[in-house]
Structure 1
Amino acid sequence: MKLLDPRGFGMVCATGAVAIGLVVAGCANRVEGSPSPNASDLAAYKTEATSSSAAATSSRRAAAQAKAISDNCGPFPTTTGAGVSKYNEFVDAHDSNAPDYVAKRDGAASTLEDAANTVERGVSAVKDTLPPDLASKFTEYVNAARALADETRRMTYTAPVSALNDASKRVNDARNVVRDSCPKR
């Protein structure tokens, strides 16, 4: 029995492959038309992509807003509470004609200003993401705390207390409005 010659066998296979390729190429049809997407499919895709992008943007915006609210509402009671405590110490010193009255007055005014500055910095840092109504309530607190600090600095034993009382009521009201507007923990 004679074995196949590998070169001859390879040549037969190569010739067969070329012949089959020519037959397939000759039978192929050209597709008429222009290469463009289906207009309705393209419109649907663009609408879906836009919707998805808008949802992602909205989600990021909502997360940023929640963080801004938390970052400002969370420390607010502690930050402003220090001013309340120092102010109450000043009022007690004033009412009792305490020898450290001036120091308590100046300490209360400084603490109120520090609280106002801290709240203002927090709001300014996130002004575009904090809801405008909440931002305005924080700003009212800042203005009220500064006004109370000014009135506190002007206070003497003989000065009338009506302006101080009015400023104190304003800051308390502003503080309560912010606390009521912030989410409960």
Structure 2
Amino acid sequence: MKFCSVCGHEVGLSIPPGDNRERYVCGNCGTVHYQNPRNVVGTVPVWDDKVLLCRRAIEPRYGYWTLPAGFMEMDETTSEGAARETLEEAGARVEIQSLFTLLNVPHVHQVHLFYLARLLDLDIDAGEESLEVKLFDESEIPWDEIAFPTVGQTLRFFFADRAAGNYALHTGDIFRSLREG
């Protein structure tokens, strides 16, 4: 950040009074510019024994498979955002069920939240950000072509929980992998 969004003057890093870490602070108007993690919201859309995945048509990870997900927008809940992203990326209408994974990704300043979701029908179609969408059973998942560690971890949790017959909320931290660079 270089300039204040309030008055347009340059900002600098300093620790504001009553705080404990450096923030961007405008030397002209005193506005403190907090930078916080961004929420990525999505679903694990299920039809019978299959999970819906999208092949990415955008970077990062163009051509790799992912669960339908994206950045949460202002004025929506996490579940509303997850349903919207699923519709936008896969043309899929879903019934949102329970929050399934909440994974912190500190090296990219994100928190990823995935909801279990039931596909309402098979009227699915790739959106602008997807090359194709496809239903996979567990044995067909292209594990070596999964776009992000959070998606792979969410899918592993899903299949393990399904085998155990009990779905739980899973939380954790995902740290930079060698594959991500």
Q: Same fold (TM over 0.5)?
A: no
TM-score scaled by structure 1?
Answer: 0.24
Tell me which protein shows more strand as a share of its residues: 2
Q: Which has the larger radius of gyration?
A: 1
Q: Which has the higher helix share?
A: 1
